[in-house]
């Protein structure tokens, strides 16, 4: 009986010490791909996704990086953990192996290094059609996933002591495409994506290591 109450707090910490990354969650790329969003959506998920503002975002972010190489160059591993704080299944934009340019216009997950600018999501476009269904993954209630990207360009910006923040931005609920020649009319006009900008607490890049790649 004691194990039942102790496990939620003790086991994740213990497992994290024994097997790195095991308690962070499944890879975001392995989440279910959104399918037939014109016909099938979680009503709870839609309800929480319709809230606007970072303070009511259905998910939270945290970020960490590996230590840069003391010799310069090489690569830095960026790890973003996305946690669904709600009791609904929420769709999120996931592009495996990619980080969104913070100063660009693309939607999804990215990082801001130091004092670099972060562009806002832009105007809300409820039926924007340029978010492919395969880029939309479903994060279950209270579930977490890990988006891990090896950065090989502009690695020099990841210097000792610089602050890194993860962000997620999106400016559209995204148009839901109905099936052709389907017997039933679509129930939803959009994919129910949360619209807004949310950032993580800052993470300090660790001291450069001579053993880092």
Per-residue HEC secondary structure of 159-179 comes to CCCCEEEEEEEECCCCECCCC
Residues in the chain: 213
> Does 73 map to a domain?
yes
For 27-54, the pLDDT digits (tens) are: 999 999 988 888 888 888 888 887 776 6
pLDDT in tens, 68-103: 887 667 889 999 999 999 999 999 999 999 999 998
List alpha helices for 50-180, DSSP H: none
Decide if 55 is inside a domain: yes
Our CA angle for 133, 137, 142, nearest 5°, is 155
Of 95, 190, 189, the closest CA to residue 137 belongs to: 95
Long-range contacts of 3-10 (CB under 8 A, 24+ apart): none
pLDDT tens figures, 142-197: 999 999 999 988 888 888 889 999 999 998 888 887 877 777 777 888 888 999 99
| Domain with 197 in it | 25-204
Q: How many domains does the chain have?
A: 1
Task: Report yes or no on 123 lying in a domain.
Answer: yes
pLDDT above 80: residue 25: yes
pLDDT at 7: 44
Cβ pair 81, 168 in contact under 8 A: no
Report yes or no on 130 lying in a domain.
yes
Average pLDDT, the chain: 81
Closest-CA residue to 161 (of 198, 201, 202): 202
In the numeric block, the tokens 């609904």 are attached to 88
What average pLDDT does range 53-68 have in this prediction?
87
Q: What is the DSSP string of 18-54?
A: HSTTTTT-EEGGGSEEP--TTT---HHHHHHHT--SG
Q: What's residue 209's pLDDT?
A: 65
In a domain, 6, yes or no: no
pTM (2 decimals)?
0.81
User: With 60 as the cut, is the pLDDT of residue 12 above it?
Assistant: no
CB 97 within 8 A of CB 83: no
Do the domain assignments include residue 163? yes
* Domain assignment of residue 10, yes or no: no
Distance of alpha carbon 83 from alpha carbon 162, whole angstroms: 24
Query: What DSSP designation does 155 have?
Result: G
**Does residue 132 sit within a domain?**
yes
């Amino acid at each position: 009986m004691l194990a039942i109450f102790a496990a939620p707090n003790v086991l994740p910490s213990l497992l994290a010490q024994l097997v790195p990354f095991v308690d962070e969650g499944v890879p975001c790329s392995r989440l279910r791909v959104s399918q037939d969003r014109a016909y099938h959506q979680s009503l709870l998920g839609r309800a929480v996704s319709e809230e606007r503002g970072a303070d009511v975002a259905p998910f939270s972010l945290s970020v960490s990086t590996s230590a840069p190489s003391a010799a310069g160059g090489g690569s830095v591993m960026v790890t973003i953990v996305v946690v669904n704080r709600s009791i609904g299944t929420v769709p999120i934009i996931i592009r495996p192996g990619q980080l969104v340019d913070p100063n660009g216009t693309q939607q999804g997950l990215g990082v801001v290094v130091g004092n670099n600018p972060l562009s806002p999501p832009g105007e809300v476009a409820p039926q924007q059609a340029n978010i492919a269904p395969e880029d939309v993954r479903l994060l279950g209630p209270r579930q977490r996933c890990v988006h891990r990207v090896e950065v090989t360009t502009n690695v020099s910006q990841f210097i000792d002591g610089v602050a890194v923040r993860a962000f997620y931005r999106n400016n559209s609920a995204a148009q839901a495409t109905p099936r052709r020649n389907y017997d039933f009319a679509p129930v939803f006009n959009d994919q129910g994506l949360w619209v807004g900008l949310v950032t993580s607490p800052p993470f300090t890049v660790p001291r450069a290591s001579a053993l880092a790649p």
